[in-house]
């Protein structure tokens, strides 16, 4: 199931805007079907994350996926909730709180720091954005900015 969800998600990232929602909706629906699937936590976390991220990209709050992720202790749930609050609901303060929770897990540090910095910048808190970026090592920042 992971490879099918990944395929739909990646297709959504690479197609023209006319078909994006189609692929992301399929990835989301497939992830919902996977909630009770017997799989390793890593596999299930990947499936649910991709499906939830796909839902957020088309403006849907994937509540059932987030709830499952939280029950299973997947820190990616906080990233997804923060992403939804930032991109769709435009609630920057609540989004920052969720991504700060995601950062506590130490997983996906780069992705979480980038989102947190964007949230702070959009909310007019450039000092907090700089503080967030300082959570990354200089070599990571330089590599990602092509320096």
Per-residue pLDDT for 139 more than 90?
Answer: no
Is the distance from CB of 141 to CB of 133 less than 8 angstroms?
Answer: yes
Per-residue pLDDT band at 19 (split at 50, 70, 90): confident
Q: Burial of 3 by CB count in 10 Å (0-12 exposed, 13-18 middle, 19+ buried)?
A: exposed
- Statement: residue 103 has pLDDT above 80: yes
How many angstroms separate the CA atoms of 136 and 142, rounded?
A: 10
pLDDT digits over 111-123, tens only?
999 999 999 999 9
**pTM here?**
0.86
Neighbours of 110 (CB within 10 A): 14
């Amino acid at each position: 199931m992971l490879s099918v969800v990944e395929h739909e998600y990646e297709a959504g990232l690479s197609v023209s805007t006319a078909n994006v929602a189609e692929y992301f909706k399929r990835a989301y629906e497939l992830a919902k079907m996977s909630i009770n699937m017997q799989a390793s936590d890593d596999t299930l976390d990947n499936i649910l994350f991709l499906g939830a991220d796909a839902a957020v990209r088309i403006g849907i709050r994937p509540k059932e996926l987030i709830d499952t992720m939280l029950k299973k202790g997947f820190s990616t749930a906080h990233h997804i909730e923060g992403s939804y609050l930032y991109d769709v609901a435009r609630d920057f303060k609540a989004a920052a709180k969720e991504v700060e929770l995601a950062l506590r897990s130490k997983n996906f540090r780069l992705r979480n720091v980038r989102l947190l910095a964007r949230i702070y910048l959009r909310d007019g808190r450039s000092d907090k954005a700089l503080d967030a970026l300082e959570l990354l090592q200089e070599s990571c920042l330089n590599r990602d900015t092509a320096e």
